[in-house]
Amino acid sequence: MEEIGKVSNPVWKFFASVKLTIVFLVLLAIFSVAGTMIPQKEGAMEFVQRLNPTTFNLMDFFGLFDLYHAGWFRFLIAMLVLNLVVCSLERFPSAWKRVKARPSVERTKPFEELPDTLLISTERGYQEALGNCLNLFKKRFSAFRSEETEYGTFFLAEKGRFSPLGVYIVHLSVLVILIGALAGSFFGFEGFVKIPEGETVDSIMVRGGNQSLSPGFEIRCDKFTVEFYENGSPKEYKSEVTFLSGGKEIEKRDILVNHPATFKGITFYQSTYEKVAGKELRIKLRKGLDEDLETIDAEIGKKMELPGKEGFFQILDVRHMGTVPAALVSVEIQGAEPTRFWIFEDFEHIKSRLPAQMINSPKFDPAAFKPYTFLLLGVQERYATGLQANQDPGVPVVWAGFILIILGFIVTFFTSHQTIRMFVENKGKKTVIRVTGSASRNRPALDRDIQRLAEDIRSLFAA
Amino acid sequence: MTSSAIISYLTFVYFLAFVFYLVMMVMGRRLPGTLATYTLLGSFAAQTAAIILRWQESYALGMGRAPFSNLYESLIFFAWTLVLLYLIVEWRTKNKSAGAFVTPLIFLALAYASFSPNISSKIMPLIPALKSNWLITHVITCFLGYAAFALSFGFSLMYLFKGNDSANNTASFLRLIPARGILDELNYQMVVIGFLMLTLGIITGSVWAHSAWGSYWSWDPKETWSLITWLVYAAVIHSRLVRGWKGRKIIILCIVGFACVLFTYFGVNYLAGLHSYATS
């Protein structure tokens, strides 16, 4: 009844075709090639600027700048999966039947027209010969069946009965891997944290969106080190981090490339690093443009009195602008709006590279608060580590799929359903022994085995 | 470094083996074939020694790492696996004709490694991403796969050369090549080995990438091209199930597959990606 339903449904028939599988496989391959030729995602920025708007719009419409996540690409994968499922369902029942089948032991047909090498004739009595053959067969095959008739005894041993199921294990594992990938994209995230040494963060920037999420704990970077080989190539990046919960230290871990750390289901990977400005800096105050007053070791947020006691100043921010260290100075006089301006290290030197309107702006004038000129002598430097922070509940599923696919391949390609038959025939004064067999794959290997079996039997009765 | 000197000499020995195989094919004599096999065995032993020596040299330089980490070393290893696999096939099939098709690939790989100005034979220390136990398994499985596909390519070429059996060519060159049916079967066996190894290579790479880059699949060009290769050979394996598809169509698909292998290996270096250390 089921069989009839399957055959008459044209959609089912369409998807049950192996030809269709090849079409889908080749199509996926071709489109994947396109994805490696067209710059993708972040890499597409520069490429896109060289396109004319019509081309860009067309390519963007088809998602060609993020091809592997485009709807139609996923649809193609879904079609291949559907094809795989239908093909497997269509063919599984007959494979299962073959696995369950018990070929009858008493069959004379397989023994017809055998080459002489597989046929042994002996003068020994039937019972003796039968006993010898039985012992040999027992030694060779752990499980076999035999059947006695009035003209002789039939033996049948089977190996690798489950071999036809290998293909279905492989197909199942492909499904498992894809389910794992799907689970990851629905329930997981890829994020990033940048933590300067000595600082603590409590949120993760999620990739592919501008929102951040709170993991429910904090991460502090205690120290970051980078080592180089003599030739200048990097040897090791290491972040020493502490995971905290509500300010309380829970666990200290070292994160290195190839050695991520997992805390409360989120895994942190060493990804990048950069040099950032620290909290401490050294500045020099001048009166007018060339009269040195004093050199001060300052710290972000610490208020200091101006030399002439006009009021206070403090450093609000320190950062690198491009590669140049810069500090935001705020001069605060009672009853007046604070005067805020940026000062740069080595200002005379970089001045020439700055645009005119920037130099003329009071925001970048180191002498914006008369009569003083502020000079930035140096900024303490420290590292900030960049950690990839991911959560992917699909990973164990994908790993299971990997193991399954390897198992499936071994069963499919390296096992074979072999049937080995022996027939000991009682011919009165003579006893004739015949061996033969069949295999679902690798017939030559079986032929060698059968040949060996025949030789062993022959040597039993030699002389 | 002694190891790279040995390798550059071996380039010529492999060429010699190729010449012997070719002479055997053209003249249809036994002796050049025997010479070819012994030359190949000898240079294989020498190459094995050179690889072990290189490993030791890296220890002497204080790096102590497996010699599988840049384009030079990968080419050497690719040639090595190809010789190994070919010798096994020659021994199993008792037929030497594939030698004439496979030895040029070995020679070319070594010549490219030793004499290309873009490839440095210097032993360099491992960058952090490569410091992993997965390096050895990943490289070995991938290159066994590549070698099997290279042999499949050799059998495919032989298939095309052979022409129809009925054409009964008298030239010894074609007479020594096995019948198309046998070539088809040998080719399929190589595709199966290659496909299994490539799958293992992708899996080990995937598990490694998960711990190094935080993601088991990131559509990096090399990853994608290995998937493309996988898809093509998956198509090859499935096409045997389509009635009437044995033979030419599959052979052409196998040649396309090997082109994908070559692109995965070399071409990808011209595209930006995470695997950039394999470039020089």
pLDDT tens, B83-92? 999 999 999 8
Does B172 touch chain A if contact means CB atoms closer than 8 Å? no
* Chain A residue whose CA is closest to B62: A229
d(CA A460, CA B7): 54
Phi and psi at residue A204, to the nearest 5°: -115, 130
How much is the pLDDT for B276? Answer: 56
> Domain residues of chain B, as ranges?
1-117, 130-273
Higher pLDDT, A45 or A118: A118
Contact A258 B211 (CB under 8 A): yes
CA angle (A324, A330, A336) in 5-degree steps: 155
**Count of beta carbons in the 10 Å neighbourhood of residue A230:** 8
Find where tokens 């033996």 sit: A155
The yes-or-no verdict on residue A323 having pLDDT over 70 is: yes
- The secondary structure element, H or E, covering residue A254 is strand A248-256
Does A271 touch chain B if contact means CB atoms closer than 8 Å? yes
The yes-or-no verdict on residue A5 having pLDDT over 50 is: no
Q: Give the closest residue to A90 by CA, choosing from A175, A5, A177, A176.
A: A5
The yes-or-no verdict on residue A4 having pLDDT over 60 is: no
How far B15 CA sits from the closest chain A CA (Å)? 34
Name the average pLDDT for chain A: 88
CATH architecture observed for domain B1-117? Up-down Bundle (1.20)
Letter for the amino acid at B16?
A: L
Residues of A in Cβ contact (< 8 Å) with B212: 257-258, 269
Does B271 touch chain A if contact means CB atoms closer than 8 Å? yes
Question: How many CB pairs below 8 A link A and B?
Answer: 105
* Chain B residue whose CA is closest to A258: B212
Which of A258, A268, A269, A410 is best to mutate for the B interface (most B CBs within 10 A)?
A: A258
Read off the DSSP letter of residue A337.
P
The yes-or-no verdict on residue B231 having pLDDT over 60 is: yes
Does A192 touch chain B if contact means CB atoms closer than 8 Å? no
How far A221 CA sits from the closest chain B CA (Å)? 19
**Residue A334: exposed, middle, or buried by beta-carbon count in 10 A (0-12, 13-18, 19+)?**
exposed
Six token digits for residue A307: 């030399």
pLDDT in tens, A23-32: 999 999 999 9
Contact B212 A258 (CB under 8 A): yes
Q: Give the closest residue to A181 by CA, choosing from A402, A389, A407, A28.
A: A402
d(CA B56, CA A78): 50
How far B234 CA sits from the closest chain A CA (Å)? 7
- Which of B127, B217, B238 is the closest to A233 by Cβ? B127
Does A390 touch chain B if contact means CB atoms closer than 8 Å? yes
How much is the pLDDT for B1? Answer: 60
Residues of A in Cβ contact (< 8 Å) with B148: none
The yes-or-no verdict on residue A2 having pLDDT over 50 is: no
- Which of B207, B211, B241 is the closest to A18 by Cβ? B241
- Which of A29, A37, A234 is the closest to B232 by Cβ? A29
- Which of B203, B215, B272 is the closest to A43 by Cβ? B272
The yes-or-no verdict on residue B167 having pLDDT over 60 is: no
pLDDT in tens, A228-278: 888 788 889 999 999 999 889 999 999 999 999 999 999 999 998 988 888
Percent of chain A with pLDDT strictly greater than 70: 98
8 Å CB contact between A314 and A301: yes
Which of B123, B136, B241 is best to mutate for the A interface (most A CBs within 10 A)?
A: B241
- Which of B214, B238, B268 is the closest to A388 by Cβ? B214
8 Å CB contact between A82 and A15: yes
pLDDT in tens, A329-342: 999 888 888 889 99
Does A203 touch chain B if contact means CB atoms closer than 8 Å? no
CB-hemisphere CA count at 13 Å for A454?
Answer: 22
Contact A269 B212 (CB under 8 A): yes
**Residue A26: exposed, middle, or buried by beta-carbon count in 10 A (0-12, 13-18, 19+)?**
middle
Q: Give the closest residue to B156 by CA, choosing from B112, B102, B107.
A: B102
Find where tokens 């997992």 sit: A262
Six token digits for residue A41: 């995602």
Read off the DSSP letter of residue A48.
H
CA angle (B34, B37, B43) in 5-degree steps: 140
Does A256 touch chain B if contact means CB atoms closer than 8 Å? yes
d(CA A383, CA A241): 13
Find where tokens 């025939």 sit: A425
How far A26 CA sits from the closest chain B CA (Å)? 6
How much is the pLDDT for B131? Answer: 86
- Which of A29, A260, A402 is the closest to B211 by Cβ? A260
Residues of A in Cβ contact (< 8 Å) with B125: 229, 231, 233, 235
Does A311 touch chain B if contact means CB atoms closer than 8 Å? no
d(CA A417, CA B251): 27
In B180-200, which positions are buried (b, 16+ CB within 10 angstroms) versus exposed (e)?
bebbbbbbbbbbbbbbbbbbb
Does A272 touch chain B if contact means CB atoms closer than 8 Å? no
Contact A68 B225 (CB under 8 A): no
Which of A21, A22, A91, A395 is best to mutate for the B interface (most B CBs within 10 A)?
A: A22
pLDDT in tens, A183-200: 998 899 989 999 999 889
Q: Give the closest residue to A381 by CA, choosing from A332, A429, A324.
A: A324
Six token digits for residue B156: 């495919």
8 Å CB contact between A344 and A324: yes
- Name residues 111-170 of chain B within 8 A of A (Cβ): 124-125, 127-129, 131-132
pLDDT in tens, B3-35: 888 999 999 999 999 999 999 988 888 899 999
* Chain B residue whose CA is closest to A238: B128
Residues of A in Cβ contact (< 8 Å) with B241: 18
Residues of B in Cβ contact (< 8 Å) with A32: 224, 227-228, 231
- Which of B124, B215, B239 is the closest to A190 by Cβ? B215
Q: Give the closest residue to B196 by CA, choosing from A409, A170, A169.
A: A409
> What SS3 class is residue A1?
coil
Name the average pLDDT for chain B: 88
Report the range out of A304-308, A378-382, B19-23 with the highest average pLDDT: B19-23
Does A181 touch chain B if contact means CB atoms closer than 8 Å? yes
pLDDT in tens, A424-447: 999 888 899 999 999 988 788 899
The yes-or-no verdict on residue B46 having pLDDT over 60 is: yes
Does A377 touch chain B if contact means CB atoms closer than 8 Å? no
Looking at A121-135, B8-22, B158-172, B194-208, which range is the least confident one? B158-172
The yes-or-no verdict on residue A7 having pLDDT over 80 is: no
CA distances from A81 to A19, A412, B231 (A): 14, 20, 13
Six token digits for residue A327: 């500090």
Residues of A in Cβ contact (< 8 Å) with B189: none
d(CA B81, CA B265): 15
Residues of B in Cβ contact (< 8 Å) with A235: 125, 127-128
How much is the pLDDT for A1? Answer: 37
How far A279 CA sits from the closest chain B CA (Å)? 30
CA angle (A78, A80, A84) in 5-degree steps: 115
